[in-house]
Amino acid sequence: SCIGDYSPYLCITHSTSEASMSNDLAGVWEVALSDGVHRIEFEHGTTTGKRVIYVDGKEILRRDWMFKLVGKETFSVGQSDTKATINIDAVSGFAYEYTLEINGKSLKKYMENRSKVTSTWVLNLDGMDCRVVLEKDTMDVWCNGDRIETAGEFVDDGTETHFTLGEHNCCVKAVSSGKRRDGIIHTLLVDGTEIAECTE
């Protein structure tokens, strides 16, 4: 089991994936990237030193016999090959602590920073759940893991980034808040209706 308070950044959950059926499951993390929310599962055999990493249920790294039980494993996640590292530290005796870093930052710090550089909306269109992500620095728009073709234009009070989802006309409006601390406010409109932003 895991040591420390990582909620919601580290949790042990039960599912039917291969990793979850093993007694060596040490950590489960969910990481929200532009192309989707990725589930990382880590197995650590504290007798054999075995290390197995699964991303979205697919095994991406396996080391069966490791003499050294502590250390780190680095791998990439998502379409943008985001760098992830699992740190394995001994706490006391045979207890271990497992922490996940994304792009060199703790998962908590990474997610806090990410909320500053992206906006995310979750909506249901024509019976299908859509997760729309705006990367504020590049103005790239993603929907359910795919980068969307967009057209940007300047308007009186800011900019509009237009795109379509199915038969729906969508637009991300960027307007100044008028306050330096708040910067620019991004709003998603679908067929003219504003969609509430969600926090991940």
pLDDT digits (tens, 9 = 90+) for 24-65: 899 999 999 999 999 999 999 888 889 999 999 999 999 998
pLDDT at residue number 55: 97
Contact 108, 97 (CB under 8 A): no
pLDDT at res. 200: 67
For domain 116-195, say whether CATH 2.30.38.10 is its number.
Answer: no
CA atoms within 13 A on the CB side of 167: 2
Q: Locate CATH 2.40.128.180 in the chain.
A: 19-103, 116-195
**What was the pLDDT predicted at 143?**
94
Residue with tokens 């599912």: 15
Quote the pLDDT of residue 13: 31
CATH topology of domain 19-103: Lipocalin (2.40.128)
- Below-50 pLDDT ranges, the chain: 1-21
CB 136 within 8 A of CB 152: no
State if pTM tops 0.95.
no
User: Which stretches within 4-106 are classed as H helix?
Assistant: none
CA-based nearest residue to 198, from 96, 130, 126: 130
